[in-house]
A = this chain, B = another copy of it.
Amino acid sequence: MTIPDTVEAREAVDLLDRTRALVQPELRGACDTLPGPMRRVAMYHFGWEEADGTPAAGAGGKAVRPALVLAACQALGGDPDRAVRAAAAVELAHNFTLLHDDVIDEDVTRRHRPTAWTVFGTADAVLAGDAMLALAVRLLAEDPWPRSAEASARLSDCVIELCAGQQIDCAFEERPPEEVTPEECIGMATAKTGALLGASCAIGALYAGAGEREVRAMDAFGREAGLAFQFIDDLIGIWGDPERTGKPAGADLAARKKSLPVVAALASGTRAGAELAELYRGPMGAAAVARAADAVERAGGRDWAQSQAAERMSKAVGELARAVPDLGAAGGLLSLAEFVTRRNR
């Protein structure tokens, strides 16, 4: 984790630390009930154990989504302690998608370690993912809180949306980059990233006993903040400072990623967009990466992504104000939104 450099960032880091302290025992306790090999995959994936079963010091992810559940609950006057199980369920659902997406995308690194499927094989990783989703469902089904069934329905709708997002992402890989539209790309980011941040906030609202209007506004807040995050993440993927991101400059370009600024540039109908398309068809060495970054910028992809990120954040705050008219009570949520959209820069 980078050193927080603003008041909001310090607040967010504190909130994430407190969330992990509250939610991790529930999360780890749930994973501990899994039978043999699926338990090992889960413990490894969360960073609590090494591949051979010895203890590891991993923190099990930043816990952004559980923190959103608890902060949303608190912002609407609920008792976050009651929502700890729901927060753990959301984190399990998130990690279920990570396990499956890593298998599908054949990604080999996650949280600075080899992905679970590279260590335990595809079958065990898929099955451990399945079991994690089932654990999430069980946590909510066994939660006596009267709105837990609503939370379960929302979470399952969200899982379907996450799967749809991953499916769209895979389908993009098979199309020439210049055929993917920015709208499609935003739709994909909404499903893959916005949906679960929205569901986290909405579930927090349900655990505060909120009405339908507040729940919907909380969902919209999380979705818009999630989209802002994605735009900024994609900007970082091209122009992020390697010293802060830990990745080489232009990493997303080197990987020919169809990120939001790239897709916008390719669809711009400009000469720079055509140059970028041409570059993406060839080998992406350091010089090509530098030229591609320049082309994205000249084609307007950088400005567009920056203004979209700002617009989404402003929409997010508007939605939050609908749910929590006294924004002073929503400090936790605002600092989290601020934090995720500035992380690691």
Report copies per complex.
2
Instruction: Specify which of A129, A133, A155 lies most central, judged by the most chain B CB atoms within 10 Å of its CB.
Output: A133
Question: Does A156 lie within 8 Å of B137, measured CB to CB?
Answer: yes
Instruction: Evaluate contact between B141 and A160: CB separation under 8 angstroms.
Output: no
Q: Does A114 contact B (CB under 8 A)?
A: no
What is the 8 Å Cβ interface bit string for chain A, positions 112-137, against chain B (1 contact, 0 not)? 00000000001110111111011101
Q: Mark A146-186, 1 if CB is under 8 A from B, else 0.
A: 00111011011101110110110011000000000000000
Taking CB atoms, residues of chain B closer than 8 Å to A167 are 35-38, 123-124, 127
Task: Give residues in A with beta carbon < 8 Å to B.
Answer: 34-38, 96, 100, 103-104, 122-124, 126-131, 133-135, 137-138, 140-142, 148-150, 152-153, 155-157, 159-161, 163-164, 166-167, 170-171
A104 touches which of B96, B126, B128, B159 (Cβ 8 Å): B126
Cα distance, A334 to B34, chains bound together (Å): 33
Q: Which residue of B lies closest to A164 (CB)?
A: B35
Contacts of A128 on B, CB cut-off 8 Å? 163
Do A163 and B123 touch across chains, with their CB atoms under 8 A apart?
A: no
User: Considering only CB atoms, which chain B residue lies closest to A173 in the complex?
Assistant: B123
Pair B149/A141 contact, Cβ less than 8 Å? yes
Complex formed: what's the CA distance from A131 to B166 in Å? Answer: 11
Residues of B within 8 A of A123 (CB): 104, 166-167, 170
User: B36, B138, B160, B170: which contacts A156 (Cβ < 8 A)?
Assistant: B138
- Complex CA distance for A100 and B129, rounded to whole angstroms: 11
Which of these, B100, B134, B166, contacts A159 with CB under 8 Å?
B134
Question: In the complex, which residues of chain B have a beta carbon less than 8 angstroms from the beta carbon of A141?
Answer: 140, 149-150, 152-153, 156
CB distance from A94 to the nearest CB of B (A): 13
Q: Given A35-B160, A164-B36, does the pair A138, B153 have CB atoms closer than 8 Å?
A: yes
**A127 cross-chain contacts in B, Cβ below 8 A:** 100, 104, 163-164, 166-167
CA gap between A128 and B160 in the complex, in Å: 9
A152 CA / B100 CA spacing, docked (Å):
23
